[in-house]
Chain A
């Protein structure tokens, strides 16, 4: 199965700074999704970008998708302490399945 791979694996930033995470994948996708997981909890869906879209915004989140490079990035602007979490990209492929990356740990220092 294909799998997203996030880069970098861990990020520590000051409150107010921007955080950028990247994700690459190997084969064709229907869409790509980003999820957040707070420590010890379930995942929460953040944003979905379809394979024919290049950029999408949701509040302080901006996602880009480059299908020619098989990569996506998630930008969190003006980070807050509450953004401290792990962030996962997931690629959607046949049969409503998702393949998740290993996750990015983001720590926002107040």
Chain B
């Protein structure tokens, strides 16, 4: 079974702190994604990566950066956390191909910024 793990289920940080969210997948997938999920807004893509050291902005990249130094690991960084970044963050991975394959999701990290 594909497994996608996220470093924390719940996280509480203060405004202005630098926050790292880590995601690891064990299926050698090329693609990895970071989404945030907010009530009434569904899932919105923050960033995705299609290869090591490669990244592309999603729909809402402002205030976030990412790092992919190894194929299995994709990190989301909040350089200076703000209260409007309080949200559920979901990581996903998928193999690459001509058309999109299913994505495998981690359990999510619920981040609260106070």
Q: Which residues of A contact B (CB under 8 A)?
A: 1, 3, 30-31, 33, 35, 40-45, 48, 50, 88, 92-93, 95-103
Contacts and interface: CB of A to CB of B under 8 A. Distances in A.
B105 A42 contact: yes
Contacts of B41: 102
The interface residues of chain A, by DSSP majority, are classed as strand
B110 interface: yes
Given A42-B105, A96-B96, A97-B100, A88 B43 contact: yes
A40 B110 contact: yes
Contact of A100 (B4, B42, B106, B107): B42
B79 to A, nearest CB: 24
**Number of contact residues on B: which range applies?**
20 to 34
A102 B102 contact: no
Contacts, number: 67
Contacts of A48: 101-102
Contacts of A98: 45, 100, 103
Interface of B: 4, 31, 35, 40-45, 48, 50, 56, 58-59, 88, 90, 92, 94, 96-108, 110
- Report which residue of B31, B100, B103 has the largest number of chain A beta carbons within 10 angstroms of its beta carbon: B100
A78 to B, nearest CB: 24
A79 B112 CA distance: 35
Given A31-B100, A48-B102, A95 B50 contact: yes
A1 B42 CA distance: 14
Contact of A97 (B45, B106, B107): B45
A42 B100 contact: no
B108 A42 contact: yes
B102 A45 contact: yes
B42 A41 contact: no
A41 B107 contact: yes
Contacts of A100: 35, 42-44
